């Protein structure tokens, strides 16, 4: 088993929480893991990404090679497209469709979404709306996105849910429940079955 | 800070034979950043003090130790871990701790090495008593830095050993080794990592039985620490004489590994994490001889062996500048071709990548998609609600009233004032340069000459420059944008918080020309008025624009709510 995942977004959106949950579930599965993160200047509203590598064999490089990513998980549609050079030909893009507008020259959102739809393997979701629908706050949008990516992760749905529960356990039962709901909402809308 | 509690996976133990006896070694697994592995390694090696100024990508080493000391108050782990004012004070305090026989760690980003260079170079001459490791985290590709200098040059310059771990486990293990080596050789050790090592997580096996801290002990020969020429000459002679033993340790301690290939005419030398990029792509049938370097000086014996085994071409893969590539040219016969960053087989600048290494060993790139032309850049920006924004809004409006105002910036979040929408600063070089460059410009006849510097950068390296201004009655305005923290690196304590006015007055700025404003939109007219008055004053003024960092404010409010 080997999954190379690029997590993308804008500084402050919370991509690292997605990485934390996947990492937790992967380690429980006894998988090897490497996760390269971005700290420092770009966290101030710039583009950020994290390379998350999971494998049943030891992992060498901390960085995913171009053409090697099985999956791009992005909290922002244009940010998903920033990393397509890293995507394997049969790789998946799972992304929020809601643009994060903090630059003056953001392209036409319709054109951005058209480009994403040009990839055969894509899941495009309004994760914020789905979070609200599920009764979760907007901050849980990242968990909705995670849920939508579960079918491509190579880790079973129930084991991911257990991972969510463990990661949020110290914040109390209610927080766990909210986040599990958010993950389930994403999972049910991913349109792909395990 | 990350939460580590759930990273505790399981504990296991295994048996190992040591000196004929059976000993149980308890091992625990933790998911750690490279920086955190270094910190945990230092704690488990009996560290007594970490001294550091925050700087990407080194900050998390000290933060991790701080979090452990706080969380272990009951079990009384006593490690000094307060932030230092700058890298030089950090290095000197660490040398003092080492003088007393205890183990000390100094952490900084690569450019911090320049700040502490005086203390660092001379610590190589004094030697150490307790083990002393200097951790330099380099930032090739300048993700968060103004240059990509390679700290390995400093180890070579100071003639001391250097460690460059290739993964998180080695980083952890090398701390215990490094402290032992430091005490055995009586020399400071430089550990060099780069961004991808510092900021990448992996599972690390850590010991359950940390080594106790050293007892206090005075240096055996105090003259080692008195660098009068007579003593320093003797120390330097000892350092020169010790060089072959440093090489011998590189050759025999097991951190540098040479494997002869089935086609040994082709050889590859990797340093640090370059090894991982090679192994990501390497195919056994290539049959190259491979020398993996993680300890310097460069081990001479395996290099000679590589040549004896028939190497005709050596490809050098290293993060940063072509240090090994250059040095090897003096170590092997001239007919052997050496390839690397200098010959263009690998990129001359920037960090290595699995892709660059793949191309360098002659493999085709993996099939993938072309870049999407629709994607535009998203540069970082000052946060919404940040006080620096209001400060720049006022400053820009006042600056426009003058024909050619020059604003000298400095290092921190407020450097982002150079970008859209402010375009406010006309220079940014290194920590503290705003104050002294403004002075130099004023000396050359520039008016108005304005420095913009953050509170933490001011106490790091701006204070001495302000003293120069005061002594020369330089016609400058030093605008200290005081957000009560070290913001860019995530909100660490700032050394002068609560005392900036006293510091400026103490340095000799006239009290009526030390002005304080609160950067908020509602105060815009007042701030502009103060700036105009101080620009028109022919002498050295300080304007402190003080409002808490919006990020630390949010954190403080959240903490207050939870209590």
Which residue in chain B is spatially nearest to A51 when comparing CA positions?
A: B200
382-411 in chain B: CB under 8 A from chain A: 382-383
Looking at residue A11, its pLDDT comes to 86
Q: Is B355 on the interface with A (CB under 8 A)?
A: yes
Summarize pLDDT for A15-39 with one digit per residue, the tens: 989 999 999 999 999 999 999 988 7
Looking at residue A139, its pLDDT comes to 87
415-444 in chain B: CB under 8 A from chain A: 416, 420
| Residues of B whose CB is below 8 A from A81 | 372, 374-375
pLDDT in tens, chain A (194 residues): 999 999 999 988 889 899 999 999 999 999 999 999 887 666 778 999 999 999 999 999 999 999 999 999 999 999 999 999 999 999 999 999 999 999 999 999 999 999 999 999 999 999 999 999 999 998 899 999 999 999 999 999 999 999 999 999 989 999 999 999 999 999 999 876 44
Looking at residue B76, its pLDDT comes to 57
Best mutation target, B7, B277, B369, B389, to test chain A (most A CBs within 10 A): B369
Measured between alpha carbons, how far is B2 from A162 in angstroms, rounded to an integer? Answer: 20
Looking at residue B439, its pLDDT comes to 98
Confidence category of residue B74, pLDDT binned at 50, 70, 90: low
Count of Cβ atoms closer than 10 Å to residue A122 Cβ: 17
Reported ipTM: 0.94
Q: Is the pLDDT of residue B275 over 70?
A: yes
Looking at residue B127, its pLDDT comes to 98
Mean pLDDT of chain B: 94
For chain A, the C-alpha Rg in angstroms (whole number) is: 16
- Six-digit token string for A80: 């998903």
Are B119 and B92 in contact by the 8 Å Cβ rule? The answer is: yes
Main-chain dihedrals φ then ψ at residue B13, nearest 5 degrees: -145, 155
Q: Where do we find the tokens 């000391």?
A: B69
Looking at residue B288, its pLDDT comes to 97
Beta bridge partners of B514: B542
Q: Is the pLDDT of residue B24 over 90?
A: no
Best mutation target, B8, B284, B372, to test chain A (most A CBs within 10 A): B372
Give the closest of A33, A41, A119 to B203, CB-based: A33
Q: For residue B309, is the peptide bond before it cis, meaning its omega torsion is within 30 degrees of 0?
A: no
Are A180 and A131 in contact by the 8 Å Cβ rule? The answer is: no
Looking at residue A192, its pLDDT comes to 62
Are B291 and B256 in contact by the 8 Å Cβ rule? The answer is: yes
Looking at residue B71, its pLDDT comes to 63
Summarize pLDDT for B525-558 with one digit per residue, the tens: 999 999 999 999 999 999 999 999 999 999 999 8
Measured between alpha carbons, how far is A26 from A35 in angstroms, rounded to an integer? Answer: 12
Count of Cβ atoms closer than 10 Å to residue B470 Cβ: 17
Whether the pTM exceeds 0.80: the reply is: yes
Count of Cβ atoms closer than 10 Å to residue B422 Cβ: 19
Share of chain B above pLDDT 70, in %: 94
Region B468-473 average pLDDT: 98
Are A54 and A71 in contact by the 8 Å Cβ rule? The answer is: no
Give the closest of B196, B202, B365 to A67, CB-based: B365
Cβ separation of A85 and B203 shorter than 8 Å? no
Summarize pLDDT for B358-385 with one digit per residue, the tens: 999 999 999 999 999 999 999 988 999 9
Q: How many helices (H) and strands (E) does chain A have?
A: 7, 6
CA B142 to chain A, closest CA, distance in angstroms equals 10
Report H helices in B4-58.
Answer: 34-44
Q: Where do we find the tokens 């749905």?
A: A157
Summarize pLDDT for B453-470 with one digit per residue, the tens: 999 999 999 999 999 999
324-353 in chain B: CB under 8 A from chain A: 353
Region B385-408 average pLDDT: 97
């Amino acid at each position: 088993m080997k999954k190379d995942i690029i997590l993308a977004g804008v500084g402050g959106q919370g991509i690292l929480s997605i990485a934390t949950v996947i990492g937790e579930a992967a380690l429980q599965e006894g998988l090897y893991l490497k996760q390269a993160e971005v700290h420092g200047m770009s966290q101030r509203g710039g583009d950020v990404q994290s390379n998350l590598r999971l494998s049943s064999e030891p992992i060498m490089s901390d960085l995913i090679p171009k053409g090697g990513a099985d999956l791009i998980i992005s909290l922002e549609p244009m940010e998903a497209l920033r990393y397509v050079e890293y995507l394997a030909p049969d790789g998946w893009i799972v992304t929020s469709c809601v643009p994060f507008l903090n630059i003056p020259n953001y392209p036409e959102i319709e054109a951005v979404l058209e480009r994403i739809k040009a990839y055969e393997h894509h899941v495009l979701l309004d994760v914020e709306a789905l979070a609200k629908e599920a009764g979760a706050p907007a901050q849980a949008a990242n968990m909705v996105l995670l849920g939508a990516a579960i079918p491509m992760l190579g880790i079973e749905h129930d084991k991911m849910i257990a991972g969510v529960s463990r990661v949020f356990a110290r914040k109390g039962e209610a927080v766990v429940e909210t986040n599990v709901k958010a993950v389930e909402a994403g999972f049910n809308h991913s349109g792909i079955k395990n | 800070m990350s939460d580590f509690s759930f990273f505790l996976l399981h504990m296991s133990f295994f048996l190992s034979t040591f000196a004929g006896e059976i000993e149980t070694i308890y091992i625990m697994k933790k998911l750690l950043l490279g920086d955190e592995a270094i910190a945990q390694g230092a704690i488990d090696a009996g560290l007594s003090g970490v001294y550091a100024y925050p700087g990407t990508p080194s900050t998390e080493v000290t933060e991790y130790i701080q979090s452990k000391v706080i969380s272990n108050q009951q079990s009384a782990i006593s490690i000094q871990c307060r932030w230092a004012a700058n890298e030089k004070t950090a290095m000197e305090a660490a040398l003092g701790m080492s003088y007393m026989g205890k183990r000390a760690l100094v952490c900084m980003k690569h450019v911090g090495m320049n700040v502490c260079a005086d203390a660092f170079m001379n610590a190589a001459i004094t030697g150490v008593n307790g083990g002393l490791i200097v951790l330099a985290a380099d930032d090739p590709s300048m993700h968060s830095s103004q240059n990509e200098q390679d700290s390995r040059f400093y180890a070579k310059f100071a003639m001391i050993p250097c460690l460059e771990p290739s993964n998180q486990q080695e980083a952890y293990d090398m701390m215990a080794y490094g402290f032992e080596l430091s005490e055995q050789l009586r020399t400071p050790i430089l550990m060099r990592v780069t961004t991808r090592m510092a900021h990448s997580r992996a599972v690390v096996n850590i010991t359950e039985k940390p080594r106790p801290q050293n007892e206090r002990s005075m240096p055996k020969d105090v003259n080692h620490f008195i660098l009068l020429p007579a003593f320093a000459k003797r120390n330097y002679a000892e350092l020169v004489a010790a060089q072959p033993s440093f090489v011998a340790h590189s050759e025999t301690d097991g951190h540098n590994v040479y494997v002869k290939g089935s086609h040994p005419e082709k050889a590859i030398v990797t340093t640090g994490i370059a090894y991982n990029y090679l192994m990501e792509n390497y195919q056994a049938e290539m049959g190259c001889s491979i020398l993996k370097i993680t300890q310097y000086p460069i081990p001479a014996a395996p290099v000679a062996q590589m040549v004896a085994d028939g190497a005709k071409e050596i490809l050098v893969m290293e993060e940063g500048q072509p240090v090994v590539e250059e040095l090897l040219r003096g170590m092997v016969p001239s007919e052997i071709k050496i390839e690397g960053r200098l010959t263009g087989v690998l990129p001359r600048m920037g960090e290595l990548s699995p892709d660059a290494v793949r191309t360098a060993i002659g493999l085709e790139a993996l099939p993938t998609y072309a870049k999407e032309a629709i994607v535009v850049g998203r540069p970082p920006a000052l946060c919404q609600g940040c006080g620096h924004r209001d400060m720049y809004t006022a400053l820009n409006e006042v600056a426009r009233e003058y024909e050619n105002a020059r604003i000298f910036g400095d290092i921190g979040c407020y450097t982002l004032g150079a970008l859209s929408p402010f375009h406010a600063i006309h220079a940014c070089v290194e920590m503290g340069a705003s104050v002294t460059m403004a002075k130099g410009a004023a000396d050359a006849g520039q008016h108005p000459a304005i420095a913009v510097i953050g509170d933490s950068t001011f106490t790091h390296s701006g204070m001495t420059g302000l003293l120069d201004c005061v002594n020369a009655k330089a016609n400058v305005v030093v605008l200290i944008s005081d957000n009560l923290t070290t913001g860019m690196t995530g909100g660490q304590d700032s050394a002068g918080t609560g005392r900036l006015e006293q510091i400026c007055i103490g340095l000799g700025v006239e009290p009526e020309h030390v002005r304080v404003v609160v950067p908020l939109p509602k105060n815009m007219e007042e701030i502009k008025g103060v700036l105009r008055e101080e620009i028109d004053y022919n002498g050295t003024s300080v304007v402190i624009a003080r409002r808490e960092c919006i990020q630390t404010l949010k954190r403080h409010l959240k903490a207050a709510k939870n209590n």
